[in-house]
Amino acid sequence: MSRYDVWKEREEKLLCRTYGRYPVSVAGAKGSRMWDADGKEFVDLLSGIAVTSLGHCNEELTEVISKQAQKLIHVSNLFYQEEQLEFAEALLATCHMDNVFFCNSGAEANEAAIKMARRYQQKVKGNDAYEIITLEHAFHGRTLAAIAATGQEKFLDGFAPTTPGFIQVAWNDMQALKAAITPKTAAILVEVIQGEGGIHALSPEYCKELQSLCREKDILFIVDEVQSGLCRTGKWWAYQHYALEPDIITSAKALANGLPLGAMLCTAKASKAFEPGSHATTFGGGALVTKVGSKVIEIMQRDKLADRAKQMGDHVRAKALALKSPWVKETRGLGLMVGIELSCSPESAKKVWDELLEAGFILNLTQGTVLRLLPALTIEEYDLDRFVECLGKILADVKE
Ligand SMILES: Cc1ncc(COP(=O)(O)O)c(C=O)c1O
């Protein structure tokens, strides 16, 4: 029996059955390499789903973790902590936002944004507006409010009653959005580029008009940057490609390169919604994770990783197109949020994905036929080239 089989059997007895695991065990990882429990090496093109943007076990971060762990790890949000302040300053300097609330995950960051939008309307404006409009194929997380915002049947299944106050409209469709806005609308929540939804970017015209509508009607404009933020798309934040100025953005994933850290950033106007006691979390923004967060931002800035994400993303998309395979329908994305849509059936696409995994490439298959790559921003061009070469060989054998 391989160690993989032993772990699989143990896990089935121990853990709640929430995850559809890939058939891979992971014993260690470094940079963009991963090793399974039986010694096989993989090239990681997923980086923990856009989390370890600076590579696994980044040495500079390991040093920060080790030093900070000897100084201060956690004391609760009852106290003032310099690590938290330094990180807040560094993070806010990446955008036009004024204030930040720290939490532990993307879903929690979205919860904070939803609560802020409702409270802004009800307490600051004195309206009874509470509805949040979201877009089809969205993904905003797995808490009860976040699955209502996500709106997809597969995530709501068995969790009735659905949290009220969420309305979903067709993606990138201005008429549908306008028709959904009523005096009850508190906010519009979108991903400028959808990740789980298959790497689809909203049009700049739609985003601009959406922002104007929000301004006109004093509806808060929230952008979920949990997956797309922190240099991944070639800018600090994906909305910056369109020169937008949302009222709230949410972040998590890459903030502390694998330690749990989430954030909701907002303008001074939106921030009026909260007062002491309105919202809180025990772990959010503890000294250890925020110290790491500051280092993450410093490295991203110093090594110009937004530019690198753009270069590498453009490179891998161009290479995939250059395969001229009839099975590559389209390549999409911004920076290192990369989607390669196959034109074969979902069954054949799953076989392609299986063979890539067998050949040692870790990536994701989303929406049935979209190969999704979210590699570390530090990935070597050589690894991307090897992946495309292998994809080309596998696609050459696809028959339908
Ligand atoms: C756009 C987006 N929002 C929210 C989430 C939820 O984040 P978390 O899993 O940290 O709760 C995700 C996770 O994949 C995401 O991609």
Out of 245, 274, 302, pick the residue that ends a domain.
Answer: 302
> Is residue 92 situated within a structural domain?
yes
Residue 291 sits in the same domain as residue 317: no
CA of 49 to the centre of ligand 1 (A): 9
* Of 189, 199, 200, 226, best ligand 1 pocket probe by most atoms within 8 Å of the beta carbon: 226
pLDDT score at 334: 98
> Is residue 198 situated within a structural domain?
yes
CATH number where 365 lies? 3.90.1150.10
Residue 291 sits in the same domain as residue 323: no
Ligand 1, residue 253: give the atom nearest the CA: 10
Phi, psi of 236 (to 5 degrees): -55, -45
The contacts of residue 67 (CB under 8 Å, 6+ apart) are: none
Residue 122 sits in the same domain as residue 270: yes
* Of 155, 202, 253, best ligand 1 pocket probe by most atoms within 8 Å of the beta carbon: 253
Q: Which amino acid is at 163?
A: T
Residue 168 sits in the same domain as residue 233: yes
> Is residue 391 situated within a structural domain?
yes
> Is residue 126 situated within a structural domain?
yes
Ligand 1, residue 141: give the atom nearest the CA: 6
> Is residue 67 situated within a structural domain?
no
Ligand 1, residue 105: give the atom nearest the CA: 10
Q: Which residues sit with their C-beta closer than 6 Å to ligand 1?
A: 49, 105-107, 110, 139-141, 191, 195-196, 224, 226-227, 252
Out of 277, 302, 327, pick the residue that ends a domain.
Answer: 302
* Of 111, 139, 228, 367, best ligand 1 pocket probe by most atoms within 8 Å of the beta carbon: 139
CATH number where 259 lies? 3.40.640.10
Which residue range(s) make up the domain with 206? 72-302
Residue 133 sits in the same domain as residue 237: yes
Residue 34 sits in the same domain as residue 165: no
Strand duo 220-224 + 248-251: pairing: parallel
Residue 216 sits in the same domain as residue 343: no
* Of 227, 237, 259, 374, best ligand 1 pocket probe by most atoms within 8 Å of the beta carbon: 227
> Is residue 64 situated within a structural domain?
no
Residue 26 sits in the same domain as residue 89: no
Task: State how far the Cα of 124 lies from the Cα of 168, in Å rounded to an integer.
Answer: 25
Task: State how far the Cα of 276 lies from the Cα of 114, in Å rounded to an integer.
Answer: 17
Ligand 1, residue 227: give the atom nearest the CA: 16
CA of 324 to the centre of ligand 1 (A): 33
Triad 108, 92, 299: Cα angle to 5°: 95
Residue 261 sits in the same domain as residue 166: yes
Per-residue pLDDT tens listing for the chain (400 residues): 899 999 999 999 999 999 999 999 999 999 999 999 999 999 999 999 999 999 999 999 999 999 999 999 999 999 999 999 999 999 999 999 999 999 999 999 999 999 999 999 999 999 999 999 999 999 999 999 999 999 999 999 999 999 999 999 999 999 999 999 999 999 999 999 999 999 999 999 999 999 999 999 999 999 999 999 999 999 999 999 999 999 999 999 999 999 999 999 999 999 999 999 999 999 999 999 999 999 999 999 999 999 999 999 999 999 999 999 999 999 999 999 999 999 999 999 999 999 999 999 999 999 999 999 999 999 999 999 999 999 999 999 999 8
- Other Cβ atoms within 10 Å of 178 Cβ, number: 12
Out of 237, 270, 302, pick the residue that ends a domain.
Answer: 302
Residue 196 sits in the same domain as residue 127: yes
Residue 296 sits in the same domain as residue 314: no
> Is residue 65 situated within a structural domain?
no
CA of 107 to the centre of ligand 1 (A): 6
> Is residue 115 situated within a structural domain?
yes
Question: How many domains does one find in the chain?
Answer: 2
Residue 20 sits in the same domain as residue 79: no
One-letter-per-residue 3-state SS of the chain: CCHHHHHHHHHHHHCCCCCCCCCCCCCEEEECEEECCCCCEEEECCHHHHCCCCCECCHHHHHHHHHHHCCCCCCCCCCCCHHHHHHHHHHHCCCCCCEEEEECCHHHHHHHHHHHHHHHHHHHCCCCCCEEEEECCCCCCCCHHHHHHHCCHHHHCCCCCCCCCEEEECCCCHHHHHHHCCCCEEEEEECCEECCCCCEECCHHHHHHHHHHHHHHCCEEEEECCCCCCCCCCCCCHHHHHCCCCCEEEECHHHHECECCEEEEECHHHHCCCCCCCCCCCCCCCHHHHHHHHHHHHHHHHCCHHHHHHHHHHHHHHHHHHCCCCCEEEEEEECCEEEEEECCCHHHHHHHHHHHHHCCEECEEECCCEEEECCCCCCCHHHHHHHHHHHHHHHHCCCC
pLDDT score at 1: 87
CA of 335 to the centre of ligand 1 (A): 19
